[in-house]
């Protein structure tokens, strides 16, 4: 068992990010068994869950004439437009059925504010609006994080970078992640995480 100062953060292992989902990541379901096995080694486990309203600003369907993966400017900067996914209360927003979600001490829902997308487990994309995860971890005396989940180059990457910036010791277990890898995004994400001091195992 790992020390009680360490936590496992499981990022967005939801149906819409798994094969057959609205924003499927290749092999997204392949990581479930490894993550479940890892949970038994940690005294603190947190799951994050994308949780968007139907009219979310990041959905291409809510912008006339726009297609998924177009980039627009929102108040906080560039925003990729995504296929509608992880809509609140939908089957696509549910955790993958094989994931041991009952093991979670906390579930952080993100992306529920209509005008702000949210990749990171710690901050929404305006880089200011906190999810509350940092406060929770500090209240438990946790200073070391292991991140797994979907997708390596977006939500895992943003979460790892924010965790490092907040002063946590951070590692990402790449075998328990899968990437979208859009226009070199995986290479860029790995480089950014290494530069920030995140260990890639």
CATH number at residue 116: 3.40.50.850
Number of H helices, E strands in the chain: 4, 8
pLDDT on residue 138: 98
How far from chain centre, in Å, is Cα 162? 12
Q: Please count the structural domains in the chain.
A: 1
pLDDT on residue 93: 98
Average pLDDT estimate for 173-192? 96
Helices 185-195 and 157-165: angle between axes, nearest 10 degrees: 20
194 assigned to active site: no
26 assigned to active site: no
Average pLDDT estimate for 31-45? 97
**CA–CA separation, 96 and 14 (whole Å):** 5
* Catalytic residue of the set 29, 86, 110, 153: 110
CB atoms within 10 A of CB 118: 26
**CA–CA separation, 59 and 125 (whole Å):** 15
pLDDT on residue 65: 95
pLDDT on residue 182: 86
User: Which residues make beta-bridge pairs with 110?
Assistant: 50
pLDDT on residue 118: 95
pLDDT on residue 132: 96
Average pLDDT estimate for 23-45? 97
In-domain check, residue 168: yes
User: Of 136, 117, 133, whose CA–CA distance to 125 is shortest?
Assistant: 117
Domain of 94 in residue numbering reads as 6-200
Give the long-range contacts of residues 62-69, CB within 8 A, separation 24 or more: 69/182
pLDDT (tens digit, 9 = 90+) per residue, 51-105?
Answer: 999 999 999 999 999 999 999 999 999 999 999 999 999 999 999 999 999 999 9
Average pLDDT estimate for 171-195? 96
Give the 3-state secondary structure of 34-80. Answer: HHHHHHCCCCCEEEEEECECCCCCCEHHHCCCCCCCCEEEECCEEEE
In-domain check, residue 77: yes
Question: Quick one: what percent of the chain has pLDDT higher than 90?
Answer: 99
155 assigned to active site: yes
**CA–CA separation, 111 and 121 (whole Å):** 10
Answer for the pair 160, 190: CB distance below 8 angstroms, yes or no: no
Average pLDDT estimate for 138-160? 97
* Catalytic residue of the set 12, 16, 50, 153: 12
Answer for the pair 52, 35: CB distance below 8 angstroms, yes or no: no
In-domain check, residue 1: no
In-domain check, residue 169: yes
* Catalytic residue of the set 117, 155, 162, 177: 155
Instruction: Tell me the whole-structure pTM to 2 decimals.
Output: 0.96
Q: Which residue has the tokens 């180059």?
A: 153
pLDDT (tens digit, 9 = 90+) per residue, 96-135?
Answer: 999 999 999 999 999 999 999 999 999 999 999 999 999 9
Res. 152 pLDDT band, cuts 50 70 90: very high
């Amino acid at each position: 068992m790992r020390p009680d100062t360490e936590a496992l953060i499981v990022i967005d292992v939801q149906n819409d990010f798994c094969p057959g989902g609205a924003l499927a990541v290749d092999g997204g379901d392949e990581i479930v068994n490894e993550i479940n096995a890892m949970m038994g080694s940690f005294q603190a486990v947190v799951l994050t869950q994308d949780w968007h309203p139907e009219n979310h600003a990041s959905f291409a369907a809510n912008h006339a004439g726009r297609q998924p993966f177009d980039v627009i400017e929102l108040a906080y900067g560039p925003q990729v437009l995504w296929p509608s996914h992880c809509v609140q209360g939908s089957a696509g927003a549910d955790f993958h059925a094989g994931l041991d979600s009952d093991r979670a001490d906390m579930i952080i829902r993100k992306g529920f504010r209509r005008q702000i997308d949210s990749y990171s487990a710690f901050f929404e994309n305006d880089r200011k609006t906190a999810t509350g995860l940092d406060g929770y971890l500090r209240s438990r005396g946790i200073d070391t994080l292991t991140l797994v989940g979907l997708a390596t180059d977006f939500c895992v990457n943003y979460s790892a970078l924010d965790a490092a910036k907040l002063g946590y010791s951070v590692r990402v277990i790449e075998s328990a992640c899968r990437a979208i890898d859009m226009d070199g995004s995986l290479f860029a994400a790995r480089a950014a995480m290494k530069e920030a001091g995140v260990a890639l195992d």
